[in-house]
Each structure stands twice: as structure tokens, then as C-alpha cells.
Amino acid sequence: MIIIKNPEKLRNDLTSNGNTMTSVAENLGYSKAYISSIVAGTRRPNEKVSIGICELLGKQFDEYFFIQTVHR
């Protein structure tokens, strides 16, 4: 499972440079509600979304996310 390290930092970085959550969602190809819920921590990002966010911001995966192993 992919976990956001610091949701506030992610939100600030996504909305810097005049971007809005709507424009971020459009660039990633997802709804604003979905991206907002990920940033708010109510949903977990999948691989495609987390990689898209990193590419959009020009950052490495481990700057915003980490992978938590789930033992069953």
C-alpha cells in the first residue's frame, strides 16, 4: 500500500505555481474529488496516480510517498 509521507507538503507543492487541484486533476486524468481525497488522506493513491504526481512535480517517489508492506 502506498502512503503519503506529508499530505500538507504534497498539497502545497501541487498547488504552487498557480496550479489548482482542478488543474492538477485534469493533468493527471482523474477527477478533482479523487485527487483531493488522496491529498486529504482519505484515499490511498495507486501506483499510476503516485507516479503521475511525481512526474508532474519533477520529484522522486520517495520524496512524497513510501510503500507500506501489509502482512496477512
What are 3-55's pLDDT values in tens digits? 999 999 999 999 988 899 999 999 999 999 999 999 998 999 999 999 999 99
Range of the domain at 20: 2-67
Residue position matching grid coordinates 481525497? 37
Residue position matching grid coordinates 502512503? 3
Helices 47-57, 7-14: crossing angle, 10 deg rounding: 50
Q: Residue 32 has what pLDDT?
A: 96
Is residue 20 domain-resident? yes
Side-chain-side CA neighbours of residue 9 (13 Å)? 9
Is residue 72 domain-resident? no
The residue count for the chain? 72
In the beta sheet, which residues pair with residue 66? Answer: 3
Is residue 29 domain-resident? yes
Is the pTM here over 0.85, yes or no? yes
Q: How many domains is the chain partitioned into structurally? A: 1
Q: What angle do CA 19, 12, 61 make, to 5 degrees?
A: 95
CATH number of the domain bearing residue 17: 1.10.260.40
> Looking at the predicted structure, is the pLDDT value of residue 70 above 90?
no
Is residue 51 domain-resident? yes
